[in-house]
């Protein structure tokens, strides 16, 4: 096994014992990136020199017998909306081209302290707006299982990098499923924590009341390890949870006998692919075989989540993205005769079509005469959605099980002409963000064409421990997370060369 195929927790353990070096693991990941990036395009920029310097610093600590940290030598990829001091950050957008971050995001600070190595910034849908990673101004990302299909979005670059063994772990952001949906389509684990558990300081916002930073990993233990590192109170984030929480790794390996798992009857609605439903129902049988109680529940307002989400998220985006006008950051359109013309030209040329669509929709729902009809009503529906989950917890549910995505990875370009069909890709994930709940997507089987299917596990606020317990038990009983993308899917068109895993 090549070193880039190790999990994050295996790497940290073996490095601390002196069996491997951070230099060698990082070199293996960089070599892998050089081999497959031309086809996958998971990274916007790779910092080889900076990564090797960080790796050498970790090795020096080990030689001095200092504590190198819980993520010592683990090469990590960072989504391009997380600030890294001294590095360009663009959110996948032309309008931020050339912007250099002047500080580290809190999660980046924590990863540094834990001994992680930064490989570079991963590709993403522009300003995190998308479900396929086709909206990036740097071009689309390919899915490692089939490079002609999408990896999901908006954190598709991070998910693809982990699935292709370019990185051992990655960070993404999740506004309506942007960690879980690409994790499902790429066959890796990805978690959206409870809103407030991880500081958003240094995350360039899409929708501030919905955004949450979370990890991608090759298994549940990787997720627990990363989330334990990046969690915690941050006074620079007013929404940060002030209370200490127990480590997730303590919950791994516990039996789930006696736990109750709710399955919403609404998740079997029209639109789910037959093979996805078959894999999901098989997953339910695994939980039953492990002693879990699986029962039907109702989330009666689930059908309203899509409309509610796209009103609230676009309204917040309209406000958050107003700062990008060519005055202070990044790109400025040349040749303007006055300030207003400069604003119009810069935003017209700097933003992509999907971002413009959402800004216009958000401005509309906040405008005079429509605020009460749309925005205020959506806020009320959001409360009803949260109440649905509260009723499930009151009905003795420990966790809720749902598919992550109604389909497997679809072909590139298949849904770009129909925004509504694209938005429906997040139908099973959006409610979690509206309610501020934690949820994970783990590999839950395979669908049409042997493509991965994601299983979503949801828990009450700050009960990530229950998720870790249930997910690790499922993972132990199955081998879906050990399956790797097929060699043929990374073949460059017109070439006989292929890259093995």
Interval 392-411: pLDDT, tens: 999 999 999 999 999 999 99
| Cβ–Cβ < 8 Å for 196, 241 | yes
Is 368 marked active-site?
no
pTM: 0.95
220-232 CB burial, b ≥16 within 10 A, e <16? bbbbbbbbbbbbb
How far apart CA 47 and CA 323 sit, in angstroms, is: 28
Nearest to 352 by CA among 72, 154, 62, 142: 154
Is 137 marked active-site?
no
Beta strands in 52-93 (DSSP E): 75-79
pLDDT at 488: 47
Model confidence pLDDT, tens digit, residues 326-339: 998 889 999 999 99
Residue among 79, 110, 218, 466 flagged as catalytic: 79
- Which class is domain 3-269+277-297+391-490? alpha beta
How far apart CA 212 and CA 436 sit, in angstroms, is: 9
The mean pLDDT value for 216-233 works out to 98
Q: Which residues, other chains included, contact 71 with Cβ-Cβ below 8 Å and sequence gap of 6+?
A: 8, 12, 111, 114, 115, 116, 169, 225, 226, 229
Residues of the chain with CATH 3.90.1300.10: 3-269+277-297+391-490
Q: Which residues, other chains included, contact 238 with Cβ-Cβ below 8 Å and sequence gap of 6+?
A: none
Is 425 marked active-site?
no
pLDDT at 498: 42
Model confidence pLDDT, tens digit, residues 59-70: 999 999 999 999
How far apart CA 423 and CA 314 sit, in angstroms, is: 13
Task: Name the pLDDT band for 81 (thresholds 50, 70, 90).
Answer: very high
pLDDT at 242: 95
Residue among 93, 136, 173, 178 flagged as catalytic: 178
% the chain with pLDDT above 70: 97
User: Taking 50 as the threshold, does the pLDDT of residue 489 lie above it?
Assistant: no
Residue among 93, 137, 154, 155 flagged as catalytic: 154
The mean pLDDT value for 56-81 works out to 96
User: Taking 80 as the threshold, does the pLDDT of residue 487 lie above it?
Assistant: no
Model confidence pLDDT, tens digit, residues 101-160: 999 999 999 999 999 999 999 999 999 999 999 999 999 999 999 999 999 999 999 999
Residue of higher predicted confidence among 501 and 96: 96
**How crowded is residue 282: how many other Cβ atoms within 10 Å of its Cβ?**
14
């Amino acid at each position: 096994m090549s070193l880039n195929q190790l999990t994050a927790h295996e790497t940290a353990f073996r490095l601390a014992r002196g069996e491997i070096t951070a230099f060698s693991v990082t070199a293996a990941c960089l070599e892998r990136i050089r081999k497959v990036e031309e086809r996958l395009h998971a990274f916007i920029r790779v910092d080889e020199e900076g990564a090797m310097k960080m790796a050498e610093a970790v090795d020096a600590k080990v030689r001095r017998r200092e504590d190198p940290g819980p993520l010592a030598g683990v090469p990590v990829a960072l989504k391009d909306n997380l600030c890294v001091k001294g590095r360009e950050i663009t959110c996948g957008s032309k309008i931020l081209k050339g912007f250099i971050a002047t500080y580290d995001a809190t999660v980046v600070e924590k990863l540094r302290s834990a001994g992680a190595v930064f490989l570079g910034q991963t590709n993403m849908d522009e300003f995190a707006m998308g479900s396929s990673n086709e909206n990036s101004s740097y071009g689309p990302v390919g899915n490692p299982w089939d490079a002609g299909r999408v990896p999901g979005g908006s954190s598709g670059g991070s998910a693809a990098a982990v699935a292709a063994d370019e990185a051992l772990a990655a960070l993404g952001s999740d506004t309506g499923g942007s960690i879980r949906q690409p994790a499902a389509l790429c066959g890796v684990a990805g978690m959206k924590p409870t809103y407030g558990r991880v500081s958003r300081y240094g995350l360039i916002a899409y929708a501030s009341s919905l955004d949450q930073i979370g990890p991608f990993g090759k298994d549940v233990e990787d997720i627990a390890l990363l989330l334990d590192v990046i969690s915690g109170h941050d006074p620079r984030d007013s929404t940060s949870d002030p209370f200490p929480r127990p480590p997730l790794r303590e919950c791994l390996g516990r039996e789930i006998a006696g736990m109750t798992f709710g399955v919403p009857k609404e998740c079997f609605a029209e639109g789910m692919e037959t093979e996805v439903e078959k894999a999901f129902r098989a997953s339910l049988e695994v939980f039953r075989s492990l002693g879990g109680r699986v029962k039907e529940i109702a989330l009666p307002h689930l059908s309203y989540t899509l409309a509610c989400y796209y009103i609230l998220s676009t309204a917040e985006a309209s406000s958050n993205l107003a700062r990008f006008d060519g005055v202070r950051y990044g790109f400025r359109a040349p040749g303007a005769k006055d300030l207003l013309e400069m604003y119009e030209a810069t935003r017209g040329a700097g933003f992509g079509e999907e971002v413009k669509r959402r800004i216009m929709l958000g401005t509309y729902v906040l405008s005079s005469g429509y605020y009460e009809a749309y925005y205020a009503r959506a806020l009320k529906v959001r409360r009803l959605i949260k109440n649905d989950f509260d009723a499930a917890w009151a009905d003795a549910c420990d966790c809720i099980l749902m598919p992550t995505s109604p389909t497997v990875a679809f072909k590139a370009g298949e849904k770009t002409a129909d925004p509504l069909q694209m938005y429906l890709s997040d139908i099973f994930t959006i409610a979690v963000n509206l309610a501020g709940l934690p949820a994970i997507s783990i590999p839950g089987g395979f669908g049409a064409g042997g493509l991965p299917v994601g299983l979503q596990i949801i828990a009450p606020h700050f009960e990530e421990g229950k998720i870790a317990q249930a997910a690790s038990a499922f993972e132990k009983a199955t081998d879906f997370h050990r399956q790797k993308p097929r060699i043929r899917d990374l073949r460059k068109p017109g070439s006989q060369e292929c890259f093995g895993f």
